Structure 1
Amino acid sequence: MPRLPSGRRAGLSLVATTSALVLALAAATPASAAYGTVSVSLGEPLLTAPRVTIKDPVDNHCYTVQELFPDAPAGSTFSFVGNHSTRPINVYEGDACSGAPTATSPMGYGMSLGGAPIRSIKILGPSAPSTPTTPTTPPAA
């Protein structure tokens, strides 16, 4: 069997090492963790509004205007929210993710919302498995 030139052997070794590293990192990352980014802008006008990017947002965490923009005046709102994470998000007009979400369904990857008075956003975690409900009182005898 002919031998490969030394340069080609080194290239194949690099590919194998890189592949092993990628697989090791993928195995170390929990499958349920959110990754990607969520971008939010504070107030108007949108082109000059302060912007924050949340990298790898925390599942089930509620992000508020005051948390992301501590110096914002009371009553400030997000003028824009863009989701580029692996988790859907809900947006709320209320502080601390209170009340019903603004949109009828969560914002998925690549979706954005602007023009609504948004005061908080929640990164939705993985869905919990549904469990059947059982009665808590014994049946009548």
Structure 2
Amino acid sequence: MKTFSAKKNTIKKKWYCIDAQNKILGRLATTISIYLRGKHKPEYTKHIDTGDYVIVVNAKKILLTGKKNINKKYYHHTGYIGGIKQISFKDMLITNPERIIYLAVKGMLPKNSLGREMLKKLKIFSDHQHIHFAQNPHDLYIT
């Protein structure tokens, strides 16, 4: 019996749509990363991009548990000396809610070129409307 290895040209990619309204950020991000990597498929191969496309709508209605919505901070560095910047979760939710889900999912994907390719298949929208109707996405319900 031989070990099955998926080929790049034989993989069928589907589109899924997830509504993030009243969903917990971490649980949502794990589900998204599983679908982006392709771990939900029986033909999953770790060195091939077997994942599907994921559309996330209502990103501005994401939730956190506990006091994280007050205490959580996002950091980045400008590249200059003393250039560390921080923004709180509440401010990020107002200014750029798509980035919250993007950063959570990015941390759960591989840190290499394959992970960067997987992250390109993630489409995030802050409202309930998206532009990918032509791809006929399947609704994905998360509890």
Which of 1 and 2 has higher RCO (CA within 8 Å, sep 6+)? 2
> Normalising TM by the smaller chain, what interval?
under 0.3
Structure index of larger Rg: 1
Query: TM-score when scaled to structure 1?
Result: 0.27
Q: Which protein has the bigger strand share?
A: 1
Query: TM-score when scaled to structure 2?
Result: 0.27
